[in-house]
Amino acid sequence: MTTQIQILSTPLEIQSAIYWIMSPESGGIDIFIGTVRNTTKGKAVIRLEFEAYEPMALAEMEKIVTQAEEKWPIQKALIHHRTGVLEIGEIPVLIAVSAAHRAAAFEACRYIIDTLKQTVPIWKKEIFEDGEVWVAAHP
- Contact between 29 and 98 under an 8 Å Cβ cutoff? The reply is yes
Inter-residue contact 79 to 116 (CB < 8 Å): yes
Per-residue pLDDT of the chain (139 residues; tens, 9 = 90+): 899 999 999 999 999 999 999 999 999 999 999 999 999 989 999 999 999 999 999 999 999 999 999 999 999 999 999 999 999 999 999 999 999 999 999 999 999 999 999 999 999 999 999 999 998 655 3
pLDDT score at 1? 81
54-71 vs 102-119: helix crossing angle, rounded to 10: 150
Q: What is the pLDDT of residue 2?
A: 96
Q: What domains are defined for the chain? A: 2-129 (3.90.1170.40)
Q: pLDDT at position 137, please?
A: 56
